[in-house]
Amino acid sequence: MFEALSFPFIQNALIAGILVSLASGIIGSLIVVNRMVFLAGGIAHTAYGGIGVAVFLGIPIFLGASIFAIAAALIISVITLKHRERMDTFIGLMWAIGMALGVVLIDLTPGYNADFMSYLFGSILAVSQNDLYFMGGLLAVIVLILTFWYREVLAVSYDSEYANLRGINVRFFYTLILVLSALTVVVAIKVVGLILVIALLTIPVYIAEKMSNTLYMMMILSGIFSSIFTLAGLWFSYEYDIASGASIILISAVSLFVFLTFNRFR
Amino acid sequence: MSIIEIKNLSFSYDKQKILENINLNVEEKDFLAIIGPNGGGKSTLLKLILGINMVKDGSIHTFGEVPKKNLSKIGYVPQNTNVNTDFPIKVIEVVLMGHIGTKRPLFGYAKEETMCAMGALAQVGMEKFADAKIGSLSGGQRQRVMIARALCAHPQILILDEPTSSIDVDGQKQIYELLKVLNSYITIIVVSHDVSVIMKYANKVVHINKKLTYHDMRGQNTTTLNQCNHFCEVELFNKFREVK
């Protein structure tokens, strides 16, 4: 086990796991309290179209995925404003079209044989130095933005109608939360893959919600739980030679089950 | 000058007429009750006064200006405070939302803001619960917190939408007693179904069902309790007819 820590790719994986866990703990809290889980799913799957475009054009994967994810976030923001009652239909559409586009473009890319499963289920052991900069930068941006606008984000999340009456630009903050979610989803795809992203954004958050009196406490606890699950999942995957993304999610799910059982009989 | 002046106001969603030719003046320190059936336009009228919906036909002036200009002078307590009770937020944070966002410090809340919020909580008798999670309160306690949030901005008018619709009888009475105290220096507008309760407190009653019917309750014996101490709404409505 410990000799594994000397490999650079394992070190990168551990750092990436912690950075992404902290980001997804913070943003996952916002997604859960704003009831945006399905939206985040839509964004994750739409991002796959961006991965396809990036592979096809030979540009960095994070760039392609980020552009698609942000575009999806902006479209959702507009739909929420104009056709709220049709929201689920539109998100379902984006979800499927994004995936289809990604699959077709990767098929069309000449000589591309890379394992496209890695985007569906994560490839944390293939994290590069540049990926780490992107993850670290995103976490820093998230922390800065939320420290500065915490009270506005809290007000919009808790009671958007009232926040609007107090002169807070609800649309701006709603869109901001969506865009930050989109970017977090993109980095989380690297760790657990786009199919499992939702679990990473919700399971630790759900446990933290039950134990928190305030939103920032929920964010901190979610980040900590998420880090623990991710590191435990990585160890599990290394030890038994199984897929890392799925290990992380299963460890989280088992922890949730234990927590709920314990909570019930307490 | 009336602090709210509504003249020849009509409003429709799409093609459906919700309000028709409404005229209403609210004076300082009025306690106005707005009653009427569901879908009769009560909440729409509130949204127009609060500037959430735009006036197209007729006019509304609050403090002599269009509603958007004077939002800071109006405190609002929305309907249905029982939603989102899982939300991890402390009572004091909910109250702090009441401050206007303009003079905020760079991070978090200013000391004066927190003190003001504690003061508002004390006014509604909830200061002991400042650090409690909002979801752990009863419906009536939560409603008082929402009133504190509205009071935080030192409003001259307090507007409440169905404040007691999901609260037990004791809680309702506490809310109305609190409003009565506040009414000594704040104008109060309450939308309510609880006709029986509100009659004891309001000095003006308007009934809205597309059109507005006005009842001045001053000088009226509104404690319409009959011999078996039962409040009879039929007697009350008969009384309305006399007032008209």
Number of Cβ atoms within 10 Å of the Cβ of A123:
21
Higher-confidence position of A120 and A150: A150
The beta-carbon neighbor of A167 closest among B89, B100, B131 is: B100
Report the share of chain A in percent with pLDDT over 90: 67
Per-residue pLDDT for A207 more than 60? yes
Q: Does A160 touch chain B (CB under 8 A)?
A: no
What is the pLDDT at residue A112?
Answer: 64
Cα distance between residue B90 and residue B113, in whole Å: 15
Q: In which band, very low, low, confident or very high, does the pLDDT at A1 lie, cut at 50, 70 and 90?
A: low
- A83-92 confidence digits (pLDDT tens): 878 888 988 9
Tokens of A3: 């000799």
CB atoms < 10 A from the CB of B163, how many?
Answer: 29
* CB proximity A230 to B under 8 Å: no
Q: Which of A209, A213, A215, A263 to mutate to test the interface with B (most CBs of B within 10 A)?
A: A213
Least-confidence region, from A20-34, A110-124, B201-215: A110-124
Asked if the model's pLDDT at residue A137 lies above 80, the reply is: yes
The per-residue pLDDT for B122 is 92
**Does residue B197 or residue A29 have the better pLDDT?**
A29
- Rounded CA-CA distance A141/A243 in Å is 30
A158 interfacial to chain B (CB closer than 8 Å): yes
Q: What confidence score (pLDDT) does residue B102 get?
A: 55
What distance in Å separates the CA atoms of residue A166 and residue A163, rounded to the nearest whole number? 5
Q: pLDDT at residue B91 above 90?
A: yes
Per-residue pLDDT averaged across B13-26, rounded? 86
Distances (CA, A) of B61 to B7, B25, B26, B70: 9, 10, 10, 9
Q: Would you call A21 helix, strand, or coil by DSSP?
A: helix
Mean confidence (pLDDT) of chain B: 82
Question: B15: domain range?
Answer: 4-243
**Domains of chain A, start order:** 2-265 (1.10.3470.10)
What's the whole-number average pLDDT of chain A? 91
Can you list the alpha helix ranges (DSSP code H) found in B124-210?
A: 139-151, 169-182, 195-198
What pLDDT does residue B171 have? 81
Of B54, B75, B59, B56, nearest to B4 by C-alpha is B59
pLDDT confidence of residue B224: 44
- Is A151 touching B (CB cutoff 8 A)? yes
Q: Does A163 touch chain B (CB under 8 A)?
A: yes
B116-119 contacts at long range (C-beta below 8 A, 24 or more positions apart): B116/B152, B117/B92, B117/B148, B117/B152, B118/B92
Q: Phi and psi of A176, rounded to 5°?
A: -60, -45
Q: At residue A144, does pLDDT exceed 90? A: yes
Q: Count of CB atoms within 10 A of residue A111's CB?
A: 5
- pLDDT > 50? residue A37: yes
CA–CA distance, B205 with B214 (Å, rounded to integer): 6
For residues A260 and A210, what is the distance between their CA atoms, to the nearest angstrom?
10
Please list, in sequence order, all residues whose beta carbon lies within 8 angstroms of the beta carbon of residue B162, skipping any fewer than 6 positions away.
B79, B80, B191, B192, B193
The SS3 call for residue B9 is strand
Eight-state DSSP code of residue A18: H
Q: Count of domains in chain B?
A: 1
What pLDDT is recorded for position B99? 82
Percent of chain B past pLDDT 90, that is, above it, reads 20
Across the range A123-141, mean pLDDT stands at 92
Pick the residue with more confidence: A71 or B35?
A71
Amino acid at A240: Y
Asked if pLDDT for residue A253 goes beyond 90, the answer is yes
Q: Give the Cα separation of B199 and B215 in Å (integer).
A: 11
Q: Phi first, then psi: what are they for A73, rounded to 5°?
A: -60, -40
User: What average pLDDT score do residues A48-57 get?
Assistant: 92
* Residue contact A164–B98, C-beta within 8 A: no
CB-CB under 8 Å, B84 with A165: no
Is the pLDDT at B130 greater than 80? The verdict is yes
Question: Looking at residue B154, what is its pLDDT?
Answer: 87
The per-residue pLDDT for range B194-243, each reduced to its tens digit, is: 776 677 788 888 888 888 877 766 655 544 444 444 555 566 666 666 65
pLDDT of the residue at A5 = 81
**Whether A124 contacts chain B with CB within 8 A:** no
On whether the CB atoms of residues B35 and B56 are closer than 8 A, the answer is: no
CA-to-CA distance for A125 and A148, rounded, in angstroms?
34
- The one-character DSSP state at A79 is H
pLDDT digits (tens, 9 = 90+) for A219-252: 999 999 999 999 999 999 989 999 888 899 999 9
Contacts of A151 (CB under 8 A, 6+ apart): B96, B97, B101, B104, B108, B109
Whether residue A239 contacts residue A1, with contact meaning beta carbons closer than 8 Å, is answered with yes
* CATH value at residue B207: 3.40.50.300
In chain A, residues with a C-beta closer than 8 Å to the C-beta of B100 are: 166-167
CA of B89 vs chain A CAs: smallest distance (Å) = 4
pLDDT at B128 over 80: yes
Tell me the pLDDT tens digit for each residue of B28-82: 889 999 988 888 888 889 889 988 888 888 889 988 888 888 888 889 998 876 6
Comparing C-alpha atoms, which of B218, B136, B230, B25 is closest to residue A212? B136
More confident residue, A185 or A5: A185
- Confirm whether the ipTM is greater than 0.90: no
Between B241 and A163, the more confident residue is: A163
